[in-house]
Structure 1
Amino acid sequence: MASRLSNLCFDAHDTFAQARWWDQVLDDFTLDPTDTEPGFNHEGAAESGLEGPEERYLLFLEVPEGKAVKNRVHPCLRPIDRSRDEEVERVLGLGATMLDDRRDGEKGWAVLADPEGNEFCILTRYQPGE
């Protein structure tokens, strides 16, 4: 039997801010309800998370060091209800940074970074059956 992906972890200085930012970016993930309960200490939280479909989870873990090199693994996003270019502009408006624009007409992708420098790509619009 093979393994099943449980979660993806992101290093972060401010775990809750990262979780909130990615909550705005991703349609099918929401803040972990335990992170929004009264009394949850958002400042200095060692971890915060987003719940996704099929028990998938994005976990933001507090680390003391800053990002120093390119990610070896990164998420690739495919917009559902807007074009790639519209999604790139939306996410840039949320505070992402453009790292490498590999768009070529209707082909290609954009490489961006979240507010703490973690890379991700935005691909062309999702087409059913892909």
Structure 2
Amino acid sequence: MACRISELVLDCAEPERLAEFWSKVLGYIELAREDDGSIEIGPPDAGFGGPQPTLVLSPSDAPRTGKLRLHIDVNATDRDQDSELERLLALGAHPVDIGQDGMENWHVLADPEGNEFCLLHRRLPPLGPSAP
């Protein structure tokens, strides 16, 4: 038997702001709110325990120091990489330089709180009832 990633937890200063951003990026909806201010978002048709992990935005006022040791990679599902890059930038992502040489086929971005993530080149089929 093996484990499966069921949720990713991201400490952040403004859970509401990041929940809104990541919901738009991933097509997720709000699933739950906790008394501590945490917000869980996930796929609308599956929620927790589905084929994709949920994302928990957990409030923290501890400052981030250094590069994240884990980051999220995303792939477009319904458009090419250039169009998806434009969409992510319009949502509030911004490019970051972590030492790329310019020859990469991915883009390194940061969410509104500066958490790095990558937009990969390959387009993936969507998951869910509409997937082929």
Q: TM-score range by the shorter chain?
A: 0.7 to 0.9
> Gaps spanning 5+ residues in structure 1: where?
none
TM-score of the superposed pair, with normalisation by structure 2: 0.77
What does 1:39-118 correspond to in 2, within 5 Å? 46-52=37-43, 53=46, 54=50, 56-100=53-97, 104=103, 108-118=105-115
Q: Cα 1:16–1:122, aligned 2, differ >3 Å: closer, same or farther? A: same
> Gaps spanning 5+ residues in structure 2: where?
126-132
Alignment-mate amino acid for residue 72 of structure 1: R
1:17 CA drift (Å): 1.3
Determine if contact 1:11/1:60 at 8 Å carries over to the other structure: yes
Which whole-Å deviations, capped at 9, do the CAs of 1:78-129 have from their partners, x for residues lacking one? 101111111111111111110136665xx6100000001111000114255x
TM-score of the superposed pair, with normalisation by structure 1: 0.78
Q: Structure 1 stretch 94-103 or stretch 56-65: which is displaced more? A: 94-103
Which whole-Å deviations, capped at 9, do the CAs of 1:30-68 have from their partners, x for residues lacking one? 221x44xxxx98xxx520111235162100111112222
Whether 1:14 aligns to 2:5 is no
Between the two proteins, the alignment pairs up a number of residues equal to 117
Alignment-mate amino acid for residue 87 of structure 2: R
CA RMSD of aligned residues (A): 2.3
Q: Hey, what's the Cα distance between the residues in 2 that align with 1:63 and 1:9?
A: 12
Indicate the residue corresponding to 2:116 in structure 1.
119
Determine if contact 1:49/1:59 at 8 Å carries over to the other structure: yes
- Provide runs of 4+ in structure 1 moved above 2 Å: 100-104
SS in 2 for 1:24: helix
